């Protein structure tokens, strides 16, 4: 029997994508021994929120958000963090061939069991869609049979038929035991969440804003072979 830990690679665009969208899932798998690597294409230096009251500016935001992401990774149990140093809000303008090659290099090096990224159309932000598209291409270039999943926002895919998907195409991960870790990661991204009063309510009240599940679109045949309640 193999003693190698399962591995998960998450390829996102900005600091906070990992916490705000799928923090419960990352915390759950880290707690079960999965080795998680997170790639952030940018340092989020063009974010509109600069603290409340504002205490950051365009010159100081990148370093602040990098540190916040490192703290969030500690909260979630993410062991490996890498930045691509692409300027925030310009991922869509990065050379797509070079970006895909760079991600493919990570995939070959890590050889993960599963990959999380954004859907190339439903990412909700140009940077999200661009990093998702590049990750899809990167996986194809490796030729590796790795389960690919697209992250989704909130509980929008609790009823996937409304969006043209079947229940079999969705992974539904129970994160009910990991809301505290997710909340801690939210709070680690302080400059982005200080304006949101609910984040800073007593823990039980704040965690009440989180659903018990996070949802992922199965992005390839390897993912479709797997069950609906697990990414592996």
Is residue 150 within 8 A of residue 122, CB to CB? The reply is yes
Residue tagged 């869509």 (tokens): 92
Nearest to 112 by CA among 69, 76, 148, 138: 148
pLDDT(181) > 80: yes
Q: What pLDDT is stored for residue 4 in this prediction?
A: 84
Task: Summarize the confidence of residues 134-143 as an average pLDDT.
Answer: 98
**Mean pLDDT of the chain, nearest integer:** 96
> Could you tell me the pLDDT band of residue 3, with boundaries at 50, 70 and 90?
confident
The end-to-end CA distance of the chain, in Å, is 17
Task: Summarize the confidence of residues 179-199 as an average pLDDT.
Answer: 97
Angstrom distance (rounded) from CA 156 to CA 95: 32
Q: What pLDDT is stored for residue 46 in this prediction?
A: 93
Q: pLDDT of 65-114, one tens digit each?
A: 999 999 999 999 999 999 999 999 999 999 999 999 999 999 999 999 99
Global pTM reads: 0.96
Q: pLDDT of 15-72, one tens digit each?
A: 999 999 999 999 999 999 999 999 999 999 998 899 999 999 999 999 999 999 999 9
Q: What pLDDT is stored for residue 57 in this prediction?
A: 94
pLDDT(1) > 70: no
- Cβ neighbourhood burial of 166 (10 Å; 0-12, 13-18, 19+): exposed
85 CB-near residues (< 8 Å, 6+ apart)? 42, 43
Nearest to 226 by CA among 125, 136, 131, 149: 149
């Amino acid at each position: 029997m193999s003693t190698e830990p399962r591995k998960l690679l998450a390829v996102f665009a900005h600091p906070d994508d990992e916490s705000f969208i799928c923090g419960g899932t990352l915390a759950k798998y880290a707690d079960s021994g999965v080795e998680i690597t997170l790639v952030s294409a940018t340092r989020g230096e063009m974010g509109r929120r600069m603290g409340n009251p504002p205490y950051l500016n365009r010159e100081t935001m990148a370093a602040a958000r990098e540190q916040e992401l490192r703290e969030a990774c500690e909260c979630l149990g993410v062991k490996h963090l890498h930045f691509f140093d692409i300027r925030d809000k310009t991922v869509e303008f990065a050379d797509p061939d070079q970006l895909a090659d760079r991600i493919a290099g990570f995939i070959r090096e890590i050889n993960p069991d599963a990959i999380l990224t954004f859907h190339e159309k439903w990412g909700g932000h140009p940077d999200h869609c661009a990093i998702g598209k590049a990750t899809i291409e990167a996986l194809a270039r490796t030729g590796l049979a790795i389960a690919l999943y697209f992250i989704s926002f909130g509980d929008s895919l609790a009823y996937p038929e409304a969006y043209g998907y079947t229940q079999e195409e969705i992974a539904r991960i129970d994160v009910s035991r990991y809301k505290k870790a997710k909340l801690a990661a939210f709070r680690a991204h302080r400059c982005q969440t200080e304006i949101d009063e609910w984040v800073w309510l007593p823990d039980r009240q704040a965690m009440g804003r989180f659903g018990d599940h996070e949802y992922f679109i199965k992005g390839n045949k390897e993912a479709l072979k797997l069950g609906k309640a697990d990414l592996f």
